[in-house]
């Protein structure tokens, strides 16, 4: 008969095998984050496949997973807090495998989108509860290092997804990518069942109204961005989508301020540190996944790389993240969060801009800019992850993980949508005149080449020009938003130092 008493809310019981737990949650994280990046390599194959997707449908195929992921990841964390992080993590992995199987067997775009959405639901249950499991399985003195490693894996996941996805796509069709995910997810579920201990549960009730409003507001925003080039920015659908996003967002804030247990209390963003690192996560992944969306097609079309070569070409980004992440906590203690983030966003912004000048230069030049972007990630990810987790108590570890994941995936979705939109606009504008005036204007390289095979070189040049324009936009957005993040971080740091000085001063007479 067991004598183990139930854990009280907020209680942390370190695992006897924290290394196995850390490895498990890192693999789960790589799996769900890697799929965000891996699908980008399949875009040329999907465009030329029997599904015949349009340019907006291609964006939806990429973004359907990320949108559902971003919208449900905070509820996913709250569900884990309420019903048990281990069980919800296992359920998420099984759902993830199911969605991947549906995607692999899809006979049309609609069924593929359904599979992608179901996979997104699974990912939303997995990622925030990885944080919750890790926090409750790790002793306080080791938690900072474990979270730094996990934070690095969230960045590495995209890069690993590129390489693994490239290998799978080289060996078979785009369907092979999804079939391979099924056993991987089920094995992770088994590992979780064996290695992870049960953690405490929170008595917090769920917030279905807040969840529905958040999903609807985010979906409306992305509908406006993605459908703009296809339908026209002045079309009723696009204008209505943007208006609905604003209205639904405002209603969500009002509802969240009134419910007893909000999904995400808007008042939390009064905490300067929390709002700063959330914006930082969003901006960083906006730039990086905008790059991932472009990079695979740019290398395949512009440089004539195979799928495998395109996947391996992104590897230089991983070098700084592998070698430098462990040193970032010490660097932050020495120079502070504002200085660390300044260097990070400057590196990412300049790196993205530099890539636009390297599309026709030797690969080593291209790789050098990728290394600079990787340095930015290596500096920012561990710093932002640890600070966001520290901003909320341990009993809200799932919500903290959900907020990290939501800002990250929302940034990814916005990056793909905005960069993809700019790419399509610029690509169609630079197409040869014969393709712009004879019938519907092609919006993908596959459509354009099918319509005018003799003009393939000019079509590829149009695509390269569009990609350069999109990378410039991503660079400018990253740099401008980075300035706001650093300014907010500086103000938060000053406020924190002032509070510390006041506390020390008030205690001095009593010594």
Q: What HEC string does 281-337 produce? A: HHHHHHHHHHHHHHHHHHHHHHCCCCHHHHHHCCHHHHHHHHHHHHHHHHHHHHHCH
Q: Decide: helix, strand or coil at residue 216.
A: helix
Sign of CA pseudo-dihedral 276, 470, 67, 379: negative
Residues 244 and 267 in one domain: no
How many residues are present in the chain?
511
Q: Note whether residue 444 is domain-resident.
A: no
At 1, the pLDDT band (50, 70, 90 cuts) reads very low
Let me know the angle formed at the C-alpha of 136 by 135 and 139, rounded to the nearest 5 degrees: 80
Can you give the pLDDT at residue 489? 72
Q: Note whether residue 12 is domain-resident.
A: no
Residue 179 pLDDT > 70, yes or no?
yes
52: left (phi over 0), alpha (psi -120 to 50) or beta: left
**For residue 158, how many C-alpha atoms fall within 13 Å in the half-sphere facing its CB?**
31
Residues 6+ away with beta carbon under 8 Å from 431: 441, 442, 448, 458, 459, 462
Segment 409-425, tens digit of pLDDT: 788 778 888 888 888 88
Q: Which of 322, 423, 321 shows the shortest CA–CA distance to 373? A: 321
Q: Which position has the higher pLDDT, 331 or 400?
A: 331
Winning range, highest mean pLDDT, from 2-16, 54-68, 246-260, 298-312: 246-260
Residue 92 pLDDT > 90, yes or no?
yes
Residues 183 and 171 in one domain: yes
Q: CA-CA distance, 375 to 377, in Å (whole number)?
A: 5
Sign of CA pseudo-dihedral 173, 118, 102, 50: negative
Task: State the chain's mean pLDDT as an integer.
Answer: 81
At 396, the pLDDT band (50, 70, 90 cuts) reads low
Q: Domain holding 285: CATH number? A: 1.20.1250.20
Residue 293 pLDDT > 70, yes or no?
yes
Residue keyed to tokens 């969306």: 293
Q: Note whether residue 344 is domain-resident.
A: yes
Domain boundary (227, 262, 297) is at 262
Residues 216 and 328 in one domain: no
Q: What HEC string does 36-93 produce? A: HHHHHHCHHHHHCCCCCCCHHHHHHHHHHHHHHHHHHHHHHHHHHHHHCHHHHHHHHH
Q: CA-CA distance, 216 to 511, in Å (whole number)?
A: 56
At 369, the pLDDT band (50, 70, 90 cuts) reads very high
Segment 468-494, tens digit of pLDDT: 899 898 899 888 888 887 887 777 667
For 299-322, what is the mean pLDDT?
84
Phi, psi of 444 (to 5 degrees): -130, 160
Q: Note whether residue 504 is domain-resident.
A: no
For 186-215, b where at least 16 C-beta lie within 10 A, e where not — what string? eebbebbeebbeebbbbebeebebbbbbbb
Q: CA-CA distance, 120 to 122, in Å (whole number)?
A: 5
Could you tell me the CA-to-CA distances from 213 to 13, 38, 72, 220, 274 in Å, in that order? 35, 30, 11, 10, 22
For 2-16, what is the mean pLDDT?
47
Residues 272 and 244 in one domain: no
Residues 93 and 225 in one domain: no
For 168-195, what is the mean pLDDT?
90
Can you give the pLDDT at residue 5? 42
Q: Which of 486, 151, 215 shows the shortest CA–CA distance to 223? A: 215
Q: Note whether residue 417 is domain-resident.
A: yes
Q: Which of 18, 271, 35 shows the shortest CA–CA distance to 150? A: 18
Q: Note whether residue 1 is domain-resident.
A: no
Can you give the pLDDT at residue 184? 94
For 214-239, what is the mean pLDDT?
82
Residues 63 and 90 in one domain: yes
Residues 109 and 221 in one domain: no
Can you give the pLDDT at residue 105? 92
Q: CA-CA distance, 148 to 330, in Å (whole number)?
A: 11
Q: Which of 114-123, 147-156, 363-372 has the lowest mean pLDDT?
A: 147-156
Q: Which of 234, 214, 22, 52 shows the shortest CA–CA distance to 134? A: 22
For 204-214, what is the mean pLDDT?
80
Residue 10 pLDDT > 90, yes or no?
no
Which pair of structure tokens corresponds to residue 142?
């080791």
Segment 444-462, tens digit of pLDDT: 787 888 888 888 889 999 9
Residues 256 and 175 in one domain: no
How many percent of the chain have pLDDT more than 70? 87
CB atoms closer than 10 angstroms to residue 23: 14
Q: Which position has the higher pLDDT, 119 or 229?
A: 119
For 267-285, what is the mean pLDDT?
78
Winning range, highest mean pLDDT, from 33-37, 226-230, 250-254, 329-333: 250-254
Which pair of structure tokens corresponds to residue 345?
């966003």
Can you give the pLDDT at residue 347? 93
Which pair of structure tokens corresponds to residue 296?
């695979």
Phi, psi of 159 (to 5 degrees): -70, -40
Q: Which position has the higher pLDDT, 74 or 4?
A: 74
Phi, psi of 144 (to 5 degrees): -60, -45
Q: Domain count for the chain, please give it.
A: 2
Residues 87 and 236 in one domain: no
Can you give the pLDDT at residue 126? 92
What own/partner pairs with CB < 8 Å and gap ≥ 24 does 293-296 have? 293/40, 293/43, 293/62, 293/415, 293/416, 293/419, 293/420, 294/419, 294/423, 294/467, 294/470, 294/471, 295/40, 296/40, 296/41, 296/43, 296/44, 296/162
Cα 322 off chain centre by:
19
Residues 6+ away with beta carbon under 8 Å from 207: 75, 78, 256, 259, 261, 262, 263
Can you give the pLDDT at residue 3? 42
Domain boundary (197, 228, 262) is at 262
Residue 194 pLDDT > 80, yes or no?
yes
Can you give the pLDDT at residue 278? 82
- What range defines the domain where residue 220 resides? 207-262
Residue 190 pLDDT > 80, yes or no?
yes
Winning range, highest mean pLDDT, from 327-341, 344-358, 446-460: 344-358
At 2, the pLDDT band (50, 70, 90 cuts) reads very low
Q: Note whether residue 509 is domain-resident.
A: no
Is residue 367 within 8 A of residue 316, CB to CB? The reply is yes
Domain boundary (262, 280, 295) is at 262
Q: CA-CA distance, 97 to 115, in Å (whole number)?
A: 10
Number of helices (H) and strands (E) in the chain: give both, helices first. 19, 0
Residue 384 pLDDT > 60, yes or no?
yes
Phi, psi of 264 (to 5 degrees): -145, 110
For 202-226, what is the mean pLDDT?
80
At 155, the pLDDT band (50, 70, 90 cuts) reads low
Residues 343 and 244 in one domain: no
Q: Note whether residue 7 is domain-resident.
A: no
Residue 239 pLDDT > 60, yes or no?
yes
Crossing angle for the helix pair 140-171 and 174-195, to the nearest 10 degrees:
150
Q: CA-CA distance, 440 to 295, in Å (whole number)?
A: 27
Residues 162 and 237 in one domain: no
Residues 223 and 119 in one domain: no
At 395, the pLDDT band (50, 70, 90 cuts) reads low
Q: CA-CA distance, 148 to 133, in Å (whole number)?
A: 15
């Amino acid at each position: 008969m067991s004598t183990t008493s139930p854990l009280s809310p907020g209680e942390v019981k370190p695992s006897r095998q924290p290394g196995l737990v850390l490895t498990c949650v890192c693999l789960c994280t790589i799996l769900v984050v890697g799929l965000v990046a891996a699908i980008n390599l399949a875009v040329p194959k999907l465009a030329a496949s029997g599904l015949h997707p349009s340019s907006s449908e291609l964006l939806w195929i990429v973004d359907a997973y990320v949108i559902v992921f971003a919208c449900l990841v905070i509820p996913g964390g709250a569900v884990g807090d309420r019903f048990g992080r281990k069980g919800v993590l296992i359920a998420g992995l099984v759902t993830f495998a199911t969605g991947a199987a549906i995607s692999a067997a899809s006979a049309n775009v609609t069924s593929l989108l359904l599979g992608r959405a179901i996979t997104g639901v699974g990912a939303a249950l997995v990622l925030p509860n990885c944080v919750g499991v890790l926090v409750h399985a790790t002793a306080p003195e080791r938690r900072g290092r474990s979270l730094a490693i996990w934070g690095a894996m969230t960045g590495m996941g995209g890069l690993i997804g590129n390489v693994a996805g490239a290998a799978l796509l080289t060996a078979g069709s785009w369907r092979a990518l999804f079939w391979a995910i099924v056993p991987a997810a089920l094995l992770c579920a088994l590992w979780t069942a064996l290695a992870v201990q049960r953690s405490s549960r929170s008595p917090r009730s769920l917030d279905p109204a807040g969840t529905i409003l958040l999903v609807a507001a985010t979906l409306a925003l992305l509908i406006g961005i993605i459908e703009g080039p296809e339908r026209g920015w002045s079309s009723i659908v696009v204008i209505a989508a943007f208006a609905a996003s604003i209205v639904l967002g405002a209603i969500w804030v009002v509802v969240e301020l009134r419910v007893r247990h909000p999904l995400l209390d808007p008042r939390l963003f009064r905490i300067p540190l929390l709002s700063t690192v959330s914006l930082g996560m969003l901006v960083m992944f906006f730039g990086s996944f905008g790059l991932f969306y472009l990079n695979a097609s740019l290398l395949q079309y512009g440089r004539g790389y195979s799928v495998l070569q395109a996947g391996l070409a992104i590897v230089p980004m991983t070098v700084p993240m592998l070698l430098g992440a462990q040193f970032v906590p010490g660097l932050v203690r020495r120079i502070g969060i504002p200085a660390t983030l300044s260097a990070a966003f400057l590196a990412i912004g300049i790196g993205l801009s530099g890539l636009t000048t390297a599309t026709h230069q030797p690969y080593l030049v291209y790789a050098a800019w990728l290394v600079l972007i990787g340095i930015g990630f290596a500096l920012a990810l561990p710093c932002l992850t640890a600070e966001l987790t520290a901003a909320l108590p341990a009993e809200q570890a799932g919500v903290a993980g959900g907020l990290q994941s939501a800002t990250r995936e929302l940034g990814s979705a916005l990056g793909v949508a905005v960069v993809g939109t700019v790419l399509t606009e610029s690509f169609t504008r630079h197409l040869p005149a014969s393709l712009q005036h004879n019938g519907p204007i092609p919006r993908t390289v596959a459509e354009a080449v099918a319509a005018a095979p003799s003009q393939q070189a000019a079509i590829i040049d149009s695509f390269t020009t569009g990609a350069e324009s999109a990378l410039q936009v991503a660079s400018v957005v990253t740099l401008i938003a980075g300035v706001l993040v650093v300014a907010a971080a500086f103000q938060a740091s000053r406020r924190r130092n002032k509070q510390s000085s006041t506390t020390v001063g008030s205690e001095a007479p009593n010594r």
